[in-house]
Every structure is written in structure tokens, then in C-alpha cells.
Structure 1
């Protein structure tokens, strides 16, 4: 469901349309908030941290830069980037851009938010990469993709070729949707996405045997 919602959000904001592989079996446990956060790239991460983290899941540098392109839409909290403003400005940040951000976030612990992409904040396109080339990336995890020589060329290629970005973004999203797929008898096919079948004795057997007419694709 999350993958489908993400696909639709991308398309409705101007991004590529693509098919999402379906049929994943459901896990027997719900992922905790802490486990989810542990798998997210923090906004202060540099390119080395990003590449190392994603490599453990078989994502390469192109995948990493393409997935980061999702920051072409959305908003960021001041506390996620004010370390780049106070007490001293990050030298990789454009001065005018930094001064504008200080107006939004007058203190390091400000609770305000701002747009992730200053050129087209409500459209899914490749302008995020143009921002990076102009030293206008919001998070360290954004801007360092252009600063680091291993990913700089990929950022540039996406900035000048939106079709290429869309192609690689789709590839990376589909790859991400196929992480840790449960096969065989592992997991289950839930009758209700928010409730394990094992919590309902009537469903626990019926669903797996297809006795209540649930689609398994």
C-alpha cells in the first residue's frame, strides 16, 4: 500500500508513471518506529554515509542519487539543517540561499519548516539537482551528493536530463519495493492489513488456503 501511495503521489505531482510489482506476503510482526527510523538516512549524513548505508541493501551510487531526488517535493524542518547555518555558515551553501533560510529559521532550534526545492517545490521534476549544482541543497545529505566526486557526475547528469532521472528513479523505487520479500511459507496474506491473521482464529487458516476468496496476487 505504501509503495502504491508513493507511486501515485509521484505521478500526481508531475513525475513518472510506473507499475508497482504486487503480491508481497505480509510479515508476522509490525515494524516499530525505532526500526523504521534506523533505516532512514539522516539529514546530516554525508555522501560516504549514504553510499555505505545503501550498499548494504545492494543499492549503488546511481540508486542513491536517484532516490534522493524525491526531495524535489516536500518540506524540511529547520532543526534538520540549521547546523549548516549556526554558529557558522556551511561553506558549501550559497550565501544568498543561507541568508534566506536564516529568515525562516532565526534560531538553531526553530520549529519552522521550509520547502526542499526552491525552483519548483510542488512539482516532481529534476530541479532538485539544479539546486545542488547551485549550492542550494537544503540538507547536508542533499548537498554532499554534489560535493562528493563519486556522485557529482550523477547529479549533473540528472540535472541536465530529466528523462534519465525519471528512468533511474523508477528503477530504484522498484528495487526498494522488492527488499526483504517473504517467500514460501514465510509471513502470511492478511485479510486485514492492520491485523495479523494469527490474531483471528477464523482467518488464520482460511486465508492461507484461499477459502475466503482473497486474491493472492
Structure 2
């Protein structure tokens, strides 16, 4: 994983499985990739060889957040596109649903992000989908006579999820937020308060005393959440930025020059 250099936009070839096809990236919306590629083509037609795919992706992400009801904020520009993309580089770089809080904090701190940034950025799970395989262990790993499901999971929500994801069945996709699935909002934190975090790593933010105050604060205030998220996502946009001889400006986002 190369960071904020547009490497995830590259299509795989027979000789190079690219980042977008790594197992941890399979829930990404591929129509979104096509939208970015189309936007870049329009930019190239008007102003060739000036705006990188990495910057197009950054602006598109900000605009998608705002159009979904989230905050609009200025983003930093001037990134170059990376010149490599390999699925093998993704392993171990992204947070996992099974991570402990200490593991999650370490991953974010390694990229210059604080625990507060991590809790704010986790609200990206206010929209989107997750494969059943990412959370099914919360539904079936606890066998009778013990607790049948993860005890931190709301029982009604667990029953709903079992109806979506049969034990050993197909790996279908489930909305991350059933309450306001099309809105980018602080409902994510209210879900956690109710035992409705889809991933174990989501609910952990409420069950752990170190992060619960942040969850409660942002569940109570849309303005406070919007400010925290905007600050954190701008910091995230500085991770792995390419400049100088480290990168270039691609003519097409899904293939190298």
C-alpha cells in the first residue's frame, strides 16, 4: 500500500495483481474507480498533465462526503501519482476487524494519526458495505450453552445479521449503517452506543474506556464530529504523498504512463 498516491486506482494485469484486487480492498466500489477515471479524463481534456489522479481522488472523496450530508472542507493538493501498485503490499497495512484497540492505535500512529483521529476516521463506516466474512465470527463463534453471539452486539441487530449471513453461506455484502445508509453522519456513533457497530473493531470504540468519551461526544454533536472528521481526513491525506522524482502525473488513472 503506497498511501495517498493513487496506486489503488491501477488495474491489475496478468503479470501484476494490483492493490485494488488485494483481499482487504475487495469491498471498494469499483464503479467509484470508473468515476474517478472519467473525471480525470475530463480534467486532462481541459488541462493536460497538471492534475494528478491522486488529487482527483482526494477531491472526489471530499465531494462524495459533502454530497452525502457530511462536511465540506478544503483539501491539500499537489500530490504526484505513484509508479507501482501491488496487491502484496497491502497485507498487514490496513486495520482489521479483529484488531485490538492497541493494534489499531499503533497502525494509525505509524501514519502520523492520533487515537482521536482514528475514532473520527472510523465514521467512514457511516456509509458503504462490508462482506459477511468480516463480521460473521461475531454471530457464530459463541456456541450454546454459552452466549450464542458476541455479547457486545445488540441482540436484535445480531438476529437481523444472521438473516443476511447464513453460517458458511455466500459472502454477501451488508450495509455498514442500517439506520441512515445513504447519509454521512454521526449516526455511526449512536449505533455504537446501542451495540450496533457492524465490525468488532467498530464496537470496540465504545466498549473501551479510552475511546468511549469520544464516541459519546460525537454522537451528541454533529458540529463537533464534522470538525473532528475534517481535521483527521486532511491529516490522512498527507500519508505517503509522492513529490519530486518519486512520482509523476498519469494520463489515465487506471494504467501507468
What is the TM-score with the length of structure 2 in the denominator? 0.71
Compute the displacement of 1:192 (Å): 4.5
> 1:58 and 2:120 equivalent?
no
Q: How many residues align?
A: 196
CA contact (8 A) 2:70 2:184 kept: yes
Q: Which runs of 5+ in 2 are unaligned?
A: 1-55, 143-148
After alignment, is 8-17 or 123-132 more displaced? 8-17
CA distance in 2, matches of 1:140, 1:36: 21
For 1:129, which of 189, 193, 200 is the aligned residue? 189
Change (3 A) 1:82 1:195: closer
1-side partners of 2:131 and 2:150: how far apart?
17
Write out per-residue CA displacement over residues 97-136 of structure 1, whole angstroms, 9 at most, x where no aligned residue: 1111111112144322221112211111100000001111
Contact 2:94 2:107 in 1 (8 A): no
**Residue 95 (1) aligns with residue 155 (2):** yes
> 1:182 and 1:148, CA in 2 relative to 1: closer, same or farther beyond 3 A?
same
Bigger radius of gyration: 1
5+ unaligned residues in a row in structure 1: which ranges?
198-217
Contact 1:26 1:189 in 2 (8 A): yes
SS in 2 for 1:114: strand
1:200-215 equivalent positions in 2, closer than 5 A: none
Q: Secondary structure at the match of 2:174?
A: strand
Q: CA RMSD in A?
A: 1.8
Query: Structure 2 matches for 1:1-217, cutoff 5 A?
Result: 1-27=56-82, 29-88=83-142, 89-194=149-254, 196=256
